[in-house]
Amino acid sequence: MTQQLRLIYPDTIIWNLLCDQNIDPRKLLDSLRAKGFTLVVSFHAVYELARNFERDDAGGNARGRRLFSYLKQYLDLNIPSTKQLWELIMTEDEVFKKKLSVIDPLATSQESEIEKREVEKLANGIVEGPVKTFLEKRRQFARDTKAQQAARIIESEKLREYLKAISEDELATWMPKETLTTSGVSTLYQRFLSRAGPSRTPQYVHGLLSFPLADASRGTVHADLYSNWKCAKDGSNRLDLVDDMLHVLQAMYCDLYVTEESNQMRFARLLLTSRTRVEIYRDRSVPIDQWLLSLV
């Protein structure tokens, strides 16, 4: 049933607001499903919500338990989960190799069960296993990414000037072209090297990026290009830019991506395809469940 429903991907701010406004999960899901839609969650959203526990104080722990007790109700009502970004890329890779015609963006039942178990533990204030590992790696990754970008831009005057010369209005036409250059292909090729070893050549990755169904693969390169461009323009990037872009990329195969952060429109339109509509929750005086239902 859930695979036939159209998918709405809320970012972590929307999950927070659903919780804070005490929206009844069953009523909301029943109303959405009556219109052919459902909410979807990702492991990345779980990881981001788990950052409440990073504060390591009573307030953060209480907030974390409340959020995950609330999210658990949706999982108990069988909302689907998306594959993680790398799994989406590997799915596209398999479809490309086997010359198939359909991408399944949803997590397997086994993966969804793992997610449900982690959410249940977090609802009880237990942070361990993949969630704890992710939080530790994510903090270091964000710091390393920011330092590496700055170093790359600073060390390469030519690259900095090249990127700075590109206006924001030009990004939508520049990114698809840049993705298929040697530099753009290398961005994804290096990810394959680090995660899957030297099993794919740059020429193969170029073919994958040219494959019409490889939207998450292209979106990932677009995210790197946007991050580098923004760093060249501003001198550095905010640490949560990586996480915001990951949320957007996780929604690649969803019909709606919903957030309260209007600044995400600047890059969401560059990472997603026309399949995914982006909507901004702009008025908290309107109950968020009513707003969500008005979108469908």
- pTM of the full predicted structure? 0.91
Judge contact between 13 and 261, C-beta under 8 A: yes
List the alpha helices (DSSP H) in 124-214: 129-155, 157-164, 171-179, 182-196, 202-210
With H, G, I as helix, E, B as strand and everything else as coil, classify residue 156: coil
Dist. CA 151–CA 159, nearest whole Å: 12
Q: What's the confidence (pLDDT) of residue 201? A: 96
Dist. CA 175–CA 170, nearest whole Å: 9
For 153, the token pair is: 């831009």
For 273, the token pair is: 């395809």
Dist. CA 78–CA 107, nearest whole Å: 12
Q: What's the confidence (pLDDT) of residue 206? A: 98
Dist. CA 266–CA 15, nearest whole Å: 22
Q: Which residues of the chain have pLDDT under 70?
A: 1-3, 134-155
Q: What's the confidence (pLDDT) of residue 239? A: 75
Dist. CA 166–CA 149, nearest whole Å: 17
Q: What's the confidence (pLDDT) of residue 1? A: 38
For CA atoms 57, 145, 268, 273, give the dihedral sign.
Answer: negative
Quick one: DSSP state of residue 191? H
Dist. CA 275–CA 255, nearest whole Å: 6
Dist. CA 49–CA 68, nearest whole Å: 8
b/e burial code for range 268-295 (CB count within 10 A of at least 16 → b): bebbbeeebebbebeeeeeebbebbeee
Q: What's the confidence (pLDDT) of residue 142? A: 55
In the chain, what is the straight-line distance between the N-terminal and C-terminal CA atoms, in Å? 18
Q: What's the confidence (pLDDT) of residue 296? A: 97
Return the biggest CA–CA distance within the chain: 56
